[in-house]
Chains A and B, each alone.
Chain A
Amino acid sequence: MNLAHTSLRQLAAALRAKTLSSRELAQSYLDRIARMDPQLNSFITLDAPRTLAAADAADVRIAQGDTGPLTGIPIAHKDIFCANGWLTTCGSKMLSNFVAPYDAHVIEQFHAAGSPLLGKTNMDEFAMGSSNETSYFGPVKNPWDLAAVPGGSSGGSAAAVAARLTPAATGTDTGGSIRQPASLCGISGIKPTYGRVSRYGMIAYASSLDQGGVLAPSAEDLALVLNTMVGFDARDSTCLERPAEDFTAGLDKPLAGLRIGLPREYFSDGVSADVANAIEAALKEYERLGATRVDISLPNTKLSVPVYYVLAPAEASSNLSRFDGVRYGYRAKDYGDLTDLYERSRAEGFGPEVKRRILTGTYVLSKGYYDAYYLQAQRVRRLILDDFQQAFTRCDVIMGPSSPTVAFNIGEKTSDPIQMYLSDIFTISVNLAGLPGLSIPVGFGAQQRPVGLQLIGDYFSEAHLLNIAHQYQQATDWHAQSPALAKA
């Protein structure tokens, strides 16, 4: 059995059958990481003794017959989730010394399921970035092409999954931070409806947009992990109490009669030809599976980027105020008075992209500018949400490219933030509306870099989105392909 290329369902079966132990599985991944990650830089923190101890505990549970779908299966977590006793950096120098004293709800859920924590994955600093180049711990490389970015901000999770350094990984998505790196790394990734996954213990970037989710090779894997990840948590006031749902239950439903909405704004000049071709081929496949196309319009799409870059920085400027060098985290070595302590600690602790967003956010909330920027952006956010509600009267799912281009080169866009921001143009509006979105690999574009198809559903339609993605993956094998590096 090639463990690294085995689905979660098969791994769980092997663990239950005791032909495989959790320790063996964890060790095999730790070995792969030790061998391959120096090239990729997808992990910030590894703690093999701790991971193996958790694997041993899982083996005890399995021996006692106390087994769930993820028991014994190690999973990597984005370094944005606080995990008790683990360094939790959020990709920043500011938290480069911060060992979390508590578990995020998401981490609790995986502990309870008996899934060992494999390691903490690299990410853009405070989840601000689309290429994983803003991380204090260095850029992550795309396993398909080491010259390319993996996308961001969950770039470490995406690269680790693509290189099969972990069976699955958690991520967070504020403007596309799961779907875009999943797309650029040729894997599957889901951002659930806002409120599905507790934000407790997930370090906040933009609270009204942040949502935890999963990256994995296939939709079926996503469904299994999502089953463990979601759940009501009273410690997050924006977490929704919903009846328990098995996201794997409906995977096999046929797609006959499915109406796919194609927003004309998602098929514009801004999309590169290689991406457009792969998307078109995927849509043809869906038609073979019984789906039909519906032309729709999401007229306010072009406003989503400016709206996002008002609202997200506004919230971030406030959320990041707690990093002041007083109680934890980075503190400047030499400082005079209190103001100097603040200024130096923050000037030295934050990277340029984080500073840019704090400044932008502070500006748009300032007296005299609040109405013109923040309030106006909130109004437009409402229009964007209404666009989607209108669209869902005519279709069951919306499809389009996850990203307008395939992965760009490391360093290609770092000097032009606007170009960088535009790489999230198709994913951002989903966060603004709070909808669930999913990206699946549908082929390759220029330089044999992966192309991702985005599926957008109505609120709480995760099960349906996973079903639509799974049916495609039953008929195709893009999701099963892995980079040459992963086969080494």
Chain B
Amino acid sequence: MEWETVIGLETHTQLRTLSKIFSGASTAFGAQPNAQASAVDIALPGVLPVMNRAAVEHAIRFGLAVGATVAARSIFARKNYFYPDLPKGYQISQYEIPVVLGGAVRVTLEGVERSIQLTRAHLEEDAGKSLHEDFHGLSGIDLNRAGTPLLEIVTEPDMRSAAEAVAYARALHRLVMWIGICDGNMQEGSFRCDANVSVRPRGQKEYGTRCEIKNLNSFRFMEKAIEFEVRRQIALIEEGGTVVQETRLYDADRDETRPMRSKEDAQDYRYFPDPDLLPLVIDAQWVERVRAALPELPDAMAQRFQSVLGLSAYDAGVITASRPLAQYFEALLQNPKLGSRASGSDPEALYLDPKLCANWLCGELSAALHRENLEVEHSRITPGQLSGLLVRIQDGTISGKTAKEVFEALWQEGGEADAIIEAKGLRQISDDGALEKIVDQLIAENAVQVAEYRSGKDKVFGFFVGRAMKASGGRANPIQLNDILKKKLAP
């Protein structure tokens, strides 16, 4: 039988706010245990939550970025359960009426674009952490993370393969970082995915019984965990068994999922509206202010790079993989010494060739960054410095090959491309007189080859190009040299 995989993802994104969702304590990662737990976070008797406006604004920003409905009025509810890292004995979350409804994230998989529909996104608080090591048989509770704002983003069961789920997760990861609501750090738990996985015979309408897989803290693990789970479910059914609805944990070391708790153990969370918090009311003006401040989104930007700048889909995709990279690219195009095609309305103005910029960004610069394990925002060459170099390629002052030498000098020592070109004497020889002199001498010294060429052996042309380049110290403008050689060698 042929099986179809059905996947839905729930992603907990930690929102990038200075303070917690309901208290004034800092959200910074890595402090001493419980150093960032306020009276509210440890749930002393009598304390009350107060909504963090910035967290709401992040939720609005996300809603707008995915084309969702931002609820004018949403409700906070209490999810009741006992656990030592949940100090109040309930988590404040949103249940019946979330802040963001619907929306979609576009993903491209093997060149095919698809839209993954979102069900909802809701605000909630994170729990603390239970530490079971180093306490001599006791457990430690660290409440620094308790109350960190989360936006839980839930998809429809819209994905049909592990690869597609990963493509969605990557697109979402890029988006939440792009709009500045999440730092995306998966190691620190800022972006955590759970996958709901089921299988069904291809063509069947009803969904199969699903399992929720937790602990997918990298894209690689997500793919492997889903693939394992799909194999497990298919094998189980084919052997005559049935899938039991349960929560399973992915064990990366053994590359398998194993049961954590079954549906029978599922707790009754006794959700009810939190009487300590008034309904969250978001007026239209607020939404519009957030919309106005929203940056151009990656999909739109990639579109523009293709249609306006003529980049390939591939290059446009690579450049918009992160906002800092895209910003670097745009800064590169905005060389003040030239016009700018990206924003310029003057068709006569000079501009840097976007393709040239894209090649250098994805090539030389990316390699250098990778070599030193730097993010583009910490590049040792600024967009201004690099554009100063690219201008000299474009205007023929130096060849692409020479430019790599200049790039290395810029990377190691800093400075300006023009100064390096002058200091090292790398300027391309574009003076017809000088080039003619070189060519004349070659013709005089290589009569045999000249004769061969003139008798129709075109291949010999390459010999002259090589010799002329060598004679010029590699600085001859190749196009001009070509022209002069052709003219002078003509029979």
CB within 8 Å of B: which residues of A?
A: 81-82, 88, 90, 95, 98, 100-102, 104, 199-204, 206-208, 234-238, 314-315, 317-318, 320-324, 326-329, 338, 342, 362, 365-367, 370, 374
Which A residues touch B45, using CB under 8 A? 82, 88, 90, 95, 98, 100, 203-204, 322-323, 328-329
Residues of B within 8 A of A328 (CB): 44-45
B48 to chain A: which residues have CB within 8 Å? 199-200, 235-237
B338 beta carbon closer than 8 Å to chain A = no
Closest to B270 in A: A365
Answer whether A321 and B89 are a contact pair too, CB < 8 Å, given A95-B45, A207-B275: yes
Check B276 against A318 for contact (C-beta < 8 Å). no
Tell me which of B78-86, B226-234, B417-425 binds A.
B78-86
The residues in B between 221 and 263 inclusive whose CB is less than 8 angstroms from any CB of A are none
Whole-angstrom CA separation of A323 from B45 in the bound complex: 8
With A90-B45, A201-B47, A237-B277 known, 20 other A-B pairs at CB within 8 A are A81-B46, A82-B45, A95-B45, A98-B45, A100-B44, A101-B39, A101-B44, A202-B46, A206-B275, A235-B50, A236-B48, A238-B278, A318-B78, A318-B272, A326-B84, A326-B87, A328-B45, A365-B80, A365-B272, A374-B272
Q: Are A327 and B87 in contact (CB under 8 A)?
A: yes
A318 touches B89 (CB 8 A): yes
Contact present for B43 and A322 (CB under 8 Å): yes
Given A322-B88, A365-B270, A315 and B275 touching (CB < 8 A)? Answer: yes
Q: Give A292 to B271 CA distance when docked, in angstroms.
A: 48
Closest 3 CB pairs of A and B: A321-B89, A365-B270, A208-B275
| Residue contacts A-B, CB under 8 angstroms, 30 given | A82-B44, A82-B46, A90-B45, A95-B45, A100-B45, A102-B39, A102-B44, A200-B47, A200-B48, A207-B275, A207-B276, A235-B48, A237-B49, A237-B50, A237-B277, A237-B278, A318-B78, A318-B80, A318-B270, A322-B43, A322-B45, A323-B45, A327-B42, A328-B44, A338-B84, A362-B270, A365-B80, A366-B270, A370-B270, A374-B272
Q: Is B411's beta carbon under 8 Å from chain A? A: no
Check if B272 sits within 8 Å of A326, measured CB to CB.
no
Complex Cα–Cα for A102 and B89 (A): 21
| Interface status of B328 (Cβ within 8 A of chain A) | no
In whole angstroms, what is the CA distance A367 to B80 when docked? Answer: 12
| A367 CA / B51 CA spacing, docked (Å) | 28
Residues of A with C-beta under 8 A to B271 = 365
A237 and B22 alpha carbons, distance in the complex (Å): 10
Decide if A322 touches B46 in the complex (CB within 8 Å). Answer: no
| Chain B residues, CB < 8 A from A327 | 42-43, 87, 141
Within 8 A of A (CB), among B16-75: 39, 42-51
**Residue among B39, B45, B47, B89 with max Cβ neighbours from chain A (10 Å):** B45
B82 touches A204 (CB 8 A): no
C-alpha gap A320/B88 in the complex (Å): 8
Whole-angstrom CA separation of A101 from B43 in the bound complex: 12
Interface band, chain B: 20 to 34
Distance (Å) between the CB of B365 and the closest chain A CB?
A: 49
In the complex formed, the residue of B with least CB distance to A362 is: B270
Main SS at interface, chain B:
loop
Q: Across the interface, which residues of A come within 8 angstroms of B87, CB to CB?
A: 322, 326-327
Question: Closest CB of chain B to A122's CB: distance in Å?
Answer: 17
CA gap between A371 and B87 in the complex, in Å = 28
Q: With a CB–CB cut-off of 8 A, which chain B residues contact A367?
A: 268, 270
Inter-chain contacts of A329 with B (CB < 8 A): 45
Best-buried of A88, A206, A324, A338 by chain B (most CB within 10 Å)? A324
Chain A residue with the shortest CB-CB distance to B139: A338
Taken together as a complex, chains A and B put the C-alpha atoms of A199 and B278 apart, in Å, by 14
Closest to B51 in A: A237
Q: B90 at the A/B interface (Cβ < 8 Å)?
A: yes
Closest chain A residue, CB of each to CB of B276: A207
Considering only residues 68-121 of chain B, those with a C-beta below 8 Å from chain A are 78, 80, 82, 84, 87-90
Per the bound structure, the CA–CA distance linking A204 and B90 in Å amounts to 14
Q: Which residues of B contact A (CB under 8 A)?
A: 39, 42-51, 78, 80, 82, 84, 87-90, 141, 268, 270-272, 275-278
Question: Which residues on the B side are within 8 Å of A208 (C-beta)?
Answer: 275
Given contacts A237-B278, A338-B84, A367-B268, whether A321 and B49 have CB atoms under 8 Å apart is: no
Which B-chain residue is minimally distant from A346 (CB atoms)? B82
Bound state CA distance, A234 and B51, in angstroms? Answer: 10
The interface residues of chain B lying within 8 Å CB-to-CB of A323 are 45
A86 to chain B, nearest CB (A): 12
Give the docked Cα–Cα distance between A366 and B267 (Å): 10
Given contacts A200-B48, A236-B48, A366-B270, is CB(A322)–CB(B89) below 8 Å?
Answer: yes
Q: Are B46 and A370 in contact (CB under 8 A)?
A: no
In the complex, chain A residues whose CB is within 8 Å of the CB of B276: 204, 207, 237-238
Residue numbers in A under 8 Å from B39 (CB-CB): 101-102
Across-interface contacts of A203 in B (CB, < 8 A): 45-46
Q: Cα distance A383–B90 when bound, in Å?
A: 30
B331 to chain A, nearest CB (A): 42
By beta carbon, the residue of chain A nearest B143 is A327
CA distance A104 to B90 in the complex (A): 22
Q: Which residues of B contact A315 (CB under 8 A)?
A: 275
Chain B residue nearest to A204 (CB atoms) is B46
B82 and A318: CB pair below 8 A? no
Complex CA–CA separation, A88 to B45 (angstroms) = 9
| Chain B residue, CB-CB nearest to A327 | B42
Known contacts being A95-B45, A237-B51, A318-B78, is A324 close to B89, with CB within 8 Å?
yes
Alpha-carbon gap, A88 to B46, bound state (A) = 11
The complex places the Cα of A365 from the Cα of B274 at a distance, in Å, of: 13
Residues of A within 8 A of B44 (CB): 82, 100-102, 328
Q: How far is the CA of A362 from the CA of B80 in the complex (A)?
A: 10
B291: shortest Cβ distance to chain A, in Å? Answer: 26
Closest Cβ of chain A: how far from B375's Cβ, in Å?
38
List the A side residues contacting B89 at CB < 8 Å. Answer: 318, 320-322, 324
The chain A residue sitting closest to B86, CB to CB, is A321
The answer for the CA separation of A95 and B89 in the assembled complex, in Å, is 17
Cα distance, A315 to B88, chains bound together (Å): 13
B80 adjacent to A321 (CB under 8 Å):
yes
Q: Is the CB of A321 within 8 A of B46?
A: no
Q: Which residues of A contact B78 (CB under 8 A)?
A: 318
> Most chain-B Cβ atoms within 10 A of its Cβ — which of A238, A321, A374?
A321
CB B343 to nearest CB in A, in angstroms, measures 44
A384 to chain B, nearest CB (A): 17
Chain B residues contacting A324 (CB-CB under 8 Å) are 82, 84, 89
User: What distance in Å separates the Cβ of B446 from its nearest Cβ neighbour in chain A?
Assistant: 89
A90: B residues at CB distance < 8 A: 45
Residues of B within 8 A of A200 (CB): 46-48
B24 to chain A: closest residue by CB: A235
* Cβ contacts under 8 Å, A206 to chain B: 275
A82 partner residues in chain B, CB cutoff 8 A: 44-46
Give the docked Cα–Cα distance between A314 and B82 (Å). Answer: 16
Chain A residues within an 8 Å CB radius of B42: 327
Bound form: Cα–Cα A104–B39 in Å: 12
Say yes or no: B46 contacts A104, CB within 8 Å: yes
Give B212 Cβ to nearest chain A Cβ, in Å. Answer: 19
- Cβ of A314: which chain B residues have Cβ within 8 Å of it? 272
Tell me how far the C-beta of A398 lies from the nearest C-beta in chain B, rounded to whole angstroms. 25
Most buried by A among B43, B90, B141, B270: B270
In angstroms, Cα B242 to Cα A398, docked, is 65
From A95, A338, A366, contact of B268 by CB (8 A) = A366
Q: Which of B46, B49, B51 has the most CB of A within 10 A?
A: B46
- A318 and B90 contact, CB distance less than 8 A: yes
Per the bound structure, the CA–CA distance linking A374 and B42 in Å amounts to: 28
Complex CA–CA separation, A327 to B141 (angstroms): 9
Q: How far is the CA of A95 from the CA of B268 in the complex (A)?
A: 28
Please give the distance in Å from A202's CB to the nearest CB on chain B: 6
Best-surrounded residue of B87, B89, B90, B141 (most CB of chain A within 10 A):
B89
Q: Which residue of B lies closest to A320 (CB)?
A: B89
Question: Would you give the shortest CB distance from A312 to chain B, in whole angstroms?
Answer: 11
A389 → chain B closest CB, angstroms: 20
For the complex, what is the distance from the CA of A285 to the CA of B446, rounded to whole Å? 133
